[in-house]
């Protein structure tokens, strides 16, 4: 990275068009000037650690395509880094825009380095998890130095964005005590910090020493994804006082980070009923000054384990329509187990559908072109054309092969009753 600027936001404010900005512009319906203006304001983030040498940069934010993220990583019970790396490569095959390593067991540093070396999309982590894994200490014995040493390691390893639950301060912790929830705290990072604060009597180290965090992020150009430690894990808990209290704090931290030339994304809920999704998107954009919004789901019902990729896609499409910029995928295994490779594919495809549906709904320039091509192919019974337009051509072709029609130009659903075939010559 040129010494003329330290971070992407710093470069944009100085009028420098970086190689990463050029890569973003290649794939987005936005002008060069609009891109630079929005990066300078913090309304677009380009997570691009200067140590991630093979990165093909992507932008997240206003006026860009809705991006999707894939979570992976090992646990104590299921620990195969090779399997997780294969999932990462599958994510690339199915056109995910980002990969997050949430590993909580084993040689996390070694796996993280492999991931950065082999995966060219933006990569995220949660250093809070890795601090417990790395130090092997009980939560209350972790020191402030331990917390920040992990962040430094991740930054040096080339991680492009880190989730830090800096907004869960003592005031927010008190709020969740005085506003009881049906499902408490469901964020792993939020729960770890809440436990550390409760057992040590100290303030959240990332809130209290936020400038120290910014020093690390500025030095390596790491984007902070301000985590929602108090996101709702139940429909009943959606949009409650603790969630909003934390969101207000995240907005304050966002402005401070921008003042230090550090890029920010805001993480959002969570479990949210359909009628509150739009309100949540608008609240975040208002309270966090139009920073890019990264949402988990949202999941619009609590009762579909095994199908939560669908509950998430429903919420994700609505969220993207109303301003969400980045969707974290949810797999059918959510709430049940570590996802398999098949689960990962299902989660990716559901999120991609949601993201594209959101882009269509908000009128993103050029988003509907592929839909029109598909419609033309359907209207002319051009099956090869339909497969080329499909998000998952292999699956579409497999379905057609499994049930061959007696007449090649139709399908086995309608056969001779095919509406398109009957009126094709009449229109």
pLDDT in tens, 181-236: 999 999 999 999 999 999 999 999 999 999 999 999 999 999 999 999 999 999 99
Q: Are residues 385 and 340 in the same domain?
A: no
Specify the pLDDT at position 2. 46
CATH number at residue 44: 3.20.20.540
Q: Are residues 284 and 419 in the same domain?
A: no
Q: Are residues 339 and 399 in the same domain?
A: no
Q: Distance (Å, rounded) from C-alpha 357 to C-alpha 263?
A: 27
Structure letter (DSSP) for residue 415? G
Q: Are residues 201 and 238 in the same domain?
A: yes
pTM above 0.85, yes or no: yes
Binding region for [4Fe-4S] cluster = 411, 414, 418
Specify the pLDDT at position 425. 76
Is position 220 within any domain? yes
Is position 140 within any domain? yes
**The domain containing residue 117 runs over which residues?**
8-361
Is position 3 within any domain? no
Specify the pLDDT at position 350. 98
Specify the pLDDT at position 219. 98
Is position 153 within any domain? yes
Place of tokens 């499902």: 183
Section 269-273 average pLDDT: 97
Average pLDDT value for the chain: 97
Verify cis geometry, omega within 30 degrees of 0, for the bond prior to 44: no
Q: Are residues 348 and 386 in the same domain?
A: no
- Residue 64 tokens read as 């860009």
Q: Is the pLDDT of residue 292 over 90?
A: yes
Note the pLDDT tens digit of each residue in 305-325: 999 999 999 999 999 999 999
Number of domains in the chain: 2
Q: Are residues 197 and 145 in the same domain?
A: yes
Q: Is the pLDDT of residue 335 over 70?
A: yes
- Residue 323 tokens read as 């301003």
Q: Is the pLDDT of residue 91 over 80?
A: yes
Q: Distance (Å, rounded) from C-alpha 96 to C-alpha 352?
A: 8
Q: Are residues 46 and 129 in the same domain?
A: yes
Binding region = 71, 100, 129, 165, 187-189, 228-231, 267, 271, 294, 335, 411, 414, 418
Domain stops at, among 335, 361, 387: 361
Q: Are residues 326 and 405 in the same domain?
A: no
Q: Are residues 198 and 342 in the same domain?
A: yes
- Specify the pairing of strand 44-45 against strand 60-61: antiparallel
- Residue 264 tokens read as 């920010």
Q: Distance (Å, rounded) from C-alpha 71 to C-alpha 98?
A: 9
Is position 2 within any domain? no
Q: How many residues does the chain have?
A: 427
Q: Are residues 132 and 214 in the same domain?
A: yes
Section 81-93 average pLDDT: 96
> Do 372 and 341 touch, CB atoms closer than 8 A?
no
Specify the pLDDT at position 269. 95
Specify the pLDDT at position 205. 98
Note the pLDDT tens digit of each residue in 351-380: 999 999 999 999 999 999 999 999 999 999
Is position 12 within any domain? yes
Q: Are residues 224 and 290 in the same domain?
A: yes
Binding region for substrate = 71, 100, 129, 165, 187-189, 228-231, 267, 294
Section 123-148 average pLDDT: 98
What percentage of residues in the chain have a pLDDT greater than 70? 99
Domain stops at, among 308, 335, 361: 361
Specify the pLDDT at position 59. 98
Binding region for Zn(2+) = 271, 335
- Cα angle at 242 between 236 and 245, to 5 degrees? 135
Specify the pLDDT at position 204. 98
Is position 373 within any domain? yes
Q: Are residues 340 and 400 in the same domain?
A: no
Instruction: Concatenate the DSSP letters of all residues of 62-114 into one string.
Output: TTSPPEEEEEE---SSS--HHHHHHHHHHHHHTT-SEEEE---SS-HHHHHHH
Is position 1 within any domain? no
Domain stops at, among 319, 345, 361: 361
Place of tokens 């187990």: 337
């Amino acid at each position: 990275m040129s010494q003329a600027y330290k971070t992407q936001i710093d470069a944009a404010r100085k009028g420098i068009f970086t190689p990463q900005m050029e890569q973003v512009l290649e794939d987005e319906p936005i002008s060069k000037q609009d891109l630079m203006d929005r990066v300078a304001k913090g309304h677009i983030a380009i997570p691009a650690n200067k140590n991630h040498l093979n990165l093909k940069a992507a932008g997240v934010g206003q006026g860009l395509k809705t991006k999707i993220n894939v979570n992976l990583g090992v646990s104590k019970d299921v620990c195969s880094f090779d399997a997780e790396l294969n999932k990462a490569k599958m994510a690339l095959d199915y056109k995910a825009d980002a990969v997050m390593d949430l590993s909580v067991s084993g040689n996390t540093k070694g796996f993280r380095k492999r991931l950065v070396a082999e995966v060219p999309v933006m990569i995220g982590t949660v250093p809070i998890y890795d601090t417990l894994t790395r130090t092997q200490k009980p939560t209350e014995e972790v020191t402030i130095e331990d917390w920040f040493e992990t962040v430094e390691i991740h930054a040096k390893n080339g991680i492009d964005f880190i989730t830090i639950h800096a907004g869960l301060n003592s005031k927010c912790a008190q709020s969740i005590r005085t506003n009881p929830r049906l499902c408490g705290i469901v964020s792993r990072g939020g729960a770890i910090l809440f436990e550390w604060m409760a057992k040590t009597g100290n303030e959240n180290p990332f809130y209290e020493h936020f400038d120290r965090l910014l020093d690390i992020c500025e030095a390596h150009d790491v984007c902070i994804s301000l985590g929602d430690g108090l996101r709702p894990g139940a429909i009943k808990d959606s949009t409650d006082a603790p969630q909003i209290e934390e969101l207000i704090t995240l907005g304050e931290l966002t402005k401070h980070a921008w003042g230090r030339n550090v890029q920010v994304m805001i993480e959002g809920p969570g479990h949210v009923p359909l009628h509150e999704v739009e309100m949540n998107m608008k609240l975040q954009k208002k309270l966090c000054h139009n920073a890019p919004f990264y949402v988990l789901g949202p999941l619009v019902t609590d009762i579909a384990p095994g199908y939560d990729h669908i509950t998430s896609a429903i919420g994700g499409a609505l969220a993207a329509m109303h301003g969400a910029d980045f969707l974290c995928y949810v797999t059918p295994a959510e709430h049940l187990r570590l996802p398999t490779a098949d689960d990962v594919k299902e989660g990716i495809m559901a999120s991609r559908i949601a993201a594209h549906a959101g882009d269509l709904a908000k009128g993103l320039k050029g988003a509907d072109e592929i839909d029109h091509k598909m419609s033309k192919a359907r209207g002319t019974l051009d099956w090869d054309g339909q497969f080329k337009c499909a998000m998952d051509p292999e699956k579409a072709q497999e379905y057609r092969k499994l049930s061959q029609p007696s007449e090649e130009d139709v399908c086995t659903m309608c056969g001779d009753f095919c509406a398109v075939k009957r009126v094709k010559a009449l229109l």
